[in-house]
Amino acid sequence: MLLEIENVSKHFGGLAALTDVSLSIMKGEIYALIGPNGAGKTTLFNVITGIYRPDSGNFRLEGMEMAGKKPSMMAKSGISRTFQNIRLFSNMTAMENVMVGRHCRTKSGLLGAIFGSRETRSEEKSVREKARHLLDYVGIEQHAQRLAKNLSYGDQRRLEIARALATEPRLLALDEPAAGMNHSETDSLRNLLETIRRDGTTLLLIEHDVKLVMGLCDRLSVLHFGKKIAEGTPSEIAGNPQVVEAYLGAP
């Protein structure tokens, strides 16, 4: 068991964004969250990645209590994410974006940088190598020196994934990675996500592209008005009448 979420609730004023949501994600699987807009998927994401503190409930990463930690601590502990509205460092190059992702796995400080100590230089070299490798891994190494904001939409999504992978996550959380992608971009994204999983990273994704989700994930949960209404394998979910009514629509 990699991630266990137990009875997490989150309210915004009178709005119950999440009510007693529990789910668990196994190591090495691709787990998806689906549901209509406003169902609480992104809220759950923000709880897991430390942006929101849950009102009640708990969650554990490999047995470690995580609820209420700051986002930077989440990244350090091994939960990394991408954003629904891409949030790259626009005026940094693709390379630098990924290098920032190495921040929490490196430690050189001000003095090391000023005096160019041997540790700092070798660390910098390995950061650079790792970043180049990750750009290559997601397939945008040819854009390494371009500014993030000048990349195409699909490449920006890939860059966000590379940046998140740079933190060496145990759980990579992707918020609508295929949003706004065309058919062929979605296909190559699917290949990338499968490769990431094969290389040992557990994936959690929110996705509206039902075809992508059903073809890719091992298990999924359906959220509706902040409650989990179903959980199971794609075929179980597709046959669940409640889900069909709430989200998928009758065929």
Partner 1 sequence: MKPFMKTGLYALLLLTLPFFTDFAFGKTWVRILDFALLYVMLALGLNIVVGFAGLLDLGYVAFFAVGAYLYALLASPHFGLHLPFWLLLPMGAFAAGIFGMLLGAPTLRLRGDYLAIVTLGFGEIIRIFLNNLNAPYDITGGPQGIDLIDPVSLGQFSLNHSVYGYYFLFLFLALGTAFVSTRLQHSRIGRAWVAIREDEIAAEAMGINTRNVKLMAFAMGASFGGLSGGLFAGFEGFVSPESFSLTESIMILCMVVLGGMGHVRGVIFGSVLLSILPEALRYVGPAQQSVFGKIYVDPSSLRMLLFGLALILVMLLRPAGLWPSPERRRELAAQGETARHENTNVYDAARD
Q: Which residues bind partner 1 (CB under 8 A)?
A: 49, 51, 70-72, 74-76, 80-81, 83, 87-93, 96, 99-106, 108-110, 112-114, 116, 120, 123-124, 127, 146-147, 149-150, 163-164, 166-167
For the CB of residue 59, give the shortest distance to partner 1 in the complex, in Å.
17
Q: Which is nearer to partner 1, 27 or 107 (CB)?
A: 107
Q: Which is nearer to partner 1, 40 or 101 (CB)?
A: 101
Q: What CA–CA distance (Å, rounded) separates 53 from 49?
A: 9
Cβ-count burial 162-189 (b if 16+ within 10 Å, e if not): bbbbbbbbbbbbbbbbbbebeeebbeeb
For the CB of residue 241, give the shortest distance to partner 1 in the complex, in Å.
38
Task: Return the sign of the alpha-carbon dihedral for residues 141, 212, 83, 27.
Answer: negative
Q: Which is nearer to partner 1, 145 or 184 (CB)?
A: 145
For the CB of residue 215, give the shortest distance to partner 1 in the complex, in Å.
28
> DSSP states of 62-120 as a string?
TTEE-TT--HHHHHHHTEEE--SS----TTSBHHHHHHHHTGGG----HHHHHHT-HHH
Q: Which is nearer to partner 1, 147 or 229 (CB)?
A: 147
Q: Which is nearer to partner 1, 12 or 242 (CB)?
A: 12
For the CB of residue 250, give the shortest distance to partner 1 in the complex, in Å.
39
Q: Which is nearer to partner 1, 115 or 251 (CB)?
A: 115
